Amino acid sequence: MAKSGNGLHVLYGEGDEEVLANQSVSIQKAGHTVTPAVGRKAVEEALRSGKFDLVVLGSSLSRNDRHHLPYMVKKTAPGTRVLVLHADGGRHHEVDDSLESGWKVEDLLAKIAGLAPKTAAAAGAGR
């Protein structure tokens, strides 16, 4: 899938299919293209087969997955940004940003917008 307009191409991984479906809709409504992935293996497969601006590792993935997958993202695609949800207060050195427990969808969308490459942000500001 290609980027749509000034939106990002987001790989969004969750351990729970229902959570993934609900959050993906919100991200798409914000103008981003979303490739959903249920579970660690699906995230790994998507990373090998596609290019993404941002990888979101959701709160229903295991803590272990949210810790180890950022390494794979940076190794597979060094320029790809990583956002981890429900980070439990820890800041992983391969993670570009995180949200703690209790976040709302508006918080998620603001974090995604903040992780947009500078060129995309500047293009959107010139409208």
pLDDT value at 125 more than 50: no
What domains, with CATH codes, occur in the chain?
A: 9-118 (3.40.50.2300)
Q: Give the residue from 70, 100, 68, 72 showing the smallest Cα distance to 82.
A: 70
CA distances from 28 to 8, 12, 35, 73, 98 (A): 10, 11, 10, 22, 20
Average pLDDT over residues 16-32: 95
pLDDT, tens digit (0-9, with 9 covering 90-100), for 34-91: 999 999 999 999 999 999 999 999 999 999 999 899 999 999 998 999 999 986 666 6
The predicted pLDDT at position 109 comes to 94
pLDDT of residue 86: 81
- Rounded distance between C-alpha atoms, residue 51 and residue 18, angstroms: 24
Match 């229903």 to its residue by tokens. 60
Identify the helix (H) or strand (E) that includes residue 5: none
pLDDT for 92 beyond 90: no
Give yes or no for residue 101 having a pLDDT over 50. yes
- Is-contact 21 36, C-beta < 8 A? yes
User: Which residues pair with residue 12 across a beta bridge?
Assistant: 36, 56
pTM comes to 0.85
pLDDT at 91: 65
